[in-house]
Amino acid sequence: MKSSSAWSTSSTKVTSAPDATINFNEACKKKHPRTGLWLVHGDVFHDWLRSARSFLWLRGFAGCGKSVLLSTAIQYAFRHRRSHPRTGIAFFFFTFNDESKQDASALLRALILQLSMQLDNHNDLSRLQGSYRHASPPDEALLGCLHQLVRAFQDVYILVDALDESPRNKHREVMLQVIKDMRGWEEPGLHLLVTSRDEVDIREELDAKPEETIEIKNIEVDRDVAIFVAQNLQDNRRYRKWQRYSARIEKALTERANGVFRWVECQLKALAACPANQHLLHQLLQSLPQSLDDTYARMLRNIAPELREYAQQMLNILCCAIRPLTDLELIDALAVELGDQPRFDITRRFEDVHDLEAICPGFIEASMDLGMQTTVRIAHFSVQEYLEFAGRFDKYLVKLHKGLTHDQLAQDKGVR
C-alpha cells in the first residue's frame, strides 16, 4: 500500500501525520491468505459494511492476532469500495513502542490526511492549514475537520487497531473520548471498527452492544492457527528439515496454542533453531511452555551466557526508546560500555542487524521501510509487558532510567 508520507509534501503540523501504512504492511506480511476469512465472510462484518452508523469492536487477549485480523478487514473494505466509488477508507494502528502513534492527535491527523487525499479537492484540509500555519491544531479542530471530511463521502470506513496500546493515565482517556465523539455524530455513512484487549476503561467507554462485539476466541481462530502452522511448515525453508513430522508438529502446536498466534510464532522459532533430530523434536514438543509468560521465561534462560550482558542492555534500550531505533543506532548504543564511567568501545560493535537478532531471538524484530532504512523494535507488546512486570527487569536485566535513548548515549560519549 502507498505510504501516506508520499501523499503530501506539506510541512505543516496538520499533514505531518504518522504513517499508518507501515503498520498495515507489517501486519499483512504476517498473515496468510486463508486466515481471517471467518471474520470478513461473516454476517456481523457484512452488517457493519452495509448498516448505517455501524460500530464493531474486535476484542481479544494478548497475542491473538488482532492487528493481522484488522489488516484483513482493511483489505476487504478496499475491496468493497470497488463497487461503491463514493467511499472513503482510513485506518490507524496505535503502537506501544512509538510515541508518535499513541495519542488522539496522531489518530486524527492520520485519518484526516488519508481521507483528504481521496477527494478531488482538499478544501477542509486547506482551511485547517490556513488557521494553524504556525501551530499544531488542537484536537477539537482536528475532530471538526475530520467530521467535515466524513460528510464529503457517501460512506466512510474508519478502522483503528490496538486502543489498549495508547498508554493509560497518559493519552488513553482523551483518545477514548475522541472515539466516543465520533460515534456520536449523526452521520449514517460512518462505519467505525476498533480492536483492543478487553480492558475495563475501554469496555466502559465504548459501551458496545453484544451485537457490536466480536470475541476473538472461537473455533474459527483455532482453524486460523492450524492454517498458520501448516503453511509455515510447508512454505518456509527453515522448516523443511521437519517435513516428515509436519503433521505431528501441526497437531501439537494447534492443540496447545489456545488461539494465541504469538505463542505459535515463538514455538516455530524454537523449531527453526532445533537441529534435525527426532529425539530432540520429541523433547521439544513434550516440553512446550504452557503460556506466553512461560515461553518468554524460557527464551530468557536460553540466551547464551556470553551474550546475556548485550541482551540486557539491548532490551532495556528498546523498552525505553520513544521510537523504533535504526540498526546503526542500536549497534552504536550497544557499543557503549555501561558502569560508573560509561564509555564507547568500538570493539563492542556488532556488524549488522542479523547479529542483533541473534543476541536474543524472538524478543526483537527488524523491518525495512520504503527508504531502505532498517529499524529494530521490541517484537510484541506482550514482550515489553512481560519484561516490565513484577520485577522481571530486576531478575534478568540491568534496569536503566526510563527515557534513556541512543541519542542521549551518543551525546554523552560522542557517538555519532
In this structure, the answer to whether residues 167 and 211 fall within a common structural domain is yes
CA atoms within 13 A on the CB side of 340: 0
Residue 296: inside a domain: no
In this structure, the answer to whether residues 203 and 228 fall within a common structural domain is no
**CA 313 to each of CA 198, 339, 353, 400: distance values in angstroms, whole numbers, following the listed order:** 32, 12, 16, 8
CATH number of 207's domain: 3.40.50.300
In this structure, the answer to whether residues 270 and 373 fall within a common structural domain is no
In this structure, the answer to whether residues 20 and 77 fall within a common structural domain is yes
In this structure, the answer to whether residues 140 and 230 fall within a common structural domain is no
Q: How far apart are CA 255 and CA 258, in angstroms?
A: 7
Per-residue model confidence as pLDDT tens for the chain (416 residues): 645 444 343 434 555 889 999 999 999 988 888 888 999 999 999 999 999 999 999 999 888 889 999 999 999 999 999 988 899 999 999 999 899 999 999 999 999 999 999 998 877 778 887 788 778 889 999 999 999 999 999 999 999 999 999 999 899 999 999 999 999 999 999 999 999 999 999 999 999 999 999 998 878 888 899 988 998 898 889 999 999 999 999 999 999 998 889 999 999 999 999 999 999 999 999 999 999 999 999 999 889 999 999 999 999 999 888 888 999 999 999 999 888 888 999 999 999 999 999 998 999 988 877 677 899 999 999 998 898 874 554 444 444 334 344 444 444 434 33
Query: How many CB atoms sit inside 10 A of residue 186's CB?
Result: 6
Residue 297: inside a domain: no
| The total number of structural domains that make up the chain | 3
In this structure, the answer to whether residues 229 and 327 fall within a common structural domain is no
Name the H helices within 52-207: 66-81, 104-116, 123-131, 139-151, 172-183, 200-206
Q: How far apart are CA 302 and CA 304, in angstroms?
A: 6
Sheet holding 374-378: strands in order across?
325-326, 374-378, 364-368
In DSSP terms, 365 is beta-bridged to 377
Residue 46 main-chain phi, psi, to 5 deg:
-60, -40
For residue 120, the enclosing domain spans 4-215
Q: How far apart are CA 394 and CA 401, in angstroms?
A: 13
In this structure, the answer to whether residues 56 and 193 fall within a common structural domain is yes
Q: Which of 215, 237, 254 is the last residue of a domain?
A: 215
